[in-house]
Amino acid sequence: MLQFLRMSLMISMMLLSSQLPAQSGEEHTVQHPTFYRTVQIDGLSIFYREAGPKDAPTLLLLHGLPSSSRMFEPLFARLSDRYHLVAPDYPGFGHSDWPDAKKFAYTFDHAAEIMTHFTEALGLSRYTLYMQDYGGPVGFRMILAHPERVEALIVQNAVAHNEGLGALWKARRAFWADRAAHEDTLRANLLSLAATRTRHLGSDPNIERYDPDLWADEFAFLSQPIQADIQSDMFYDYRTNVDAYPKWQEWMRKNEPRLLVIWGKYDPSFDISEPESYRCDVPKAQVHVLDAGHFALDTAADEIAALIRDFADQ
């Protein structure tokens, strides 16, 4: 009798399980945990997130300002079943070392050099680059240095054309022309709580979709005493990106890489014309403008993950 009851209970549980509705987002079940690691690169501790099978196609994710590899957590939760995801923090960002700006060159050339050494230390010989904001100038430098390593490009709100810099860049261009005279204005324009919040929300009317911790945490990071000098130096060097745009465009036109452009249309910093500028360079580029902001993963992670899967399947 006891055995009969046990069997009846097991059958009942199986039947109940089969009748339960599928859990929302079940297709995004994480099959591979995310690991939080550090590696020594050029005397610095570089932090990175890593997930997915190492024999799967690698997606190298390069973050923007003032974020870190943390911004890619939504993709780790949705793509680690199929891709090897690696997302480092640049020096001066996130959990990587923050060397003193008086002793360390915070330039895009230097960041790209360290990120290149990072990929070599991890044995990443082929990868798709996902570049957001600052990830664009870091990534394009890596591409020109080692084009043979890049399988495809995913650009998300990162500029490679002068016309893509919006109205907010007027004060920033003045800073490049005369740093001493415009340092205070630049820091308010770039590093304040209001600016940090606006970077996420932009002109999106659906502000209730945004977690306020996104900008609160970033502002806490920017408020660290050393950060004002780091970010000011880095942004002063941004003028070298504008000078380099023609080289990046020439490389894209000549090589016509597989290119996916994902654009949050509520971005307050970058002009909405920029996605089509990429298509002018790479006519076969896939371009998708989303109802999202500068950090489109804030609100459109499911859509972006689906676009990446479709892009990779082609």
Q: Return the active site residues.
A: 294
* 286: its two tokens: 């896939």
| Contacts of residue 17, Cβ cutoff 8 Å, sequence gap at least 6 | none
Torsion sign, CA atoms 21, 23, 25, 28: negative
To which H or E segment does residue 17 belong?
helix 2-19
- CA pair distance 304, 314, nearest whole angstrom: 16
Dihedral sign for Cα atoms in the order 87, 88, 92, 97: positive
Q: Assess contact for 242 and 134: CB atoms under 8 A.
A: no
For CA atoms 216, 218, 223, 228, the dihedral sign is negative
State the pairing for strand pair 84-88/44-51: antiparallel
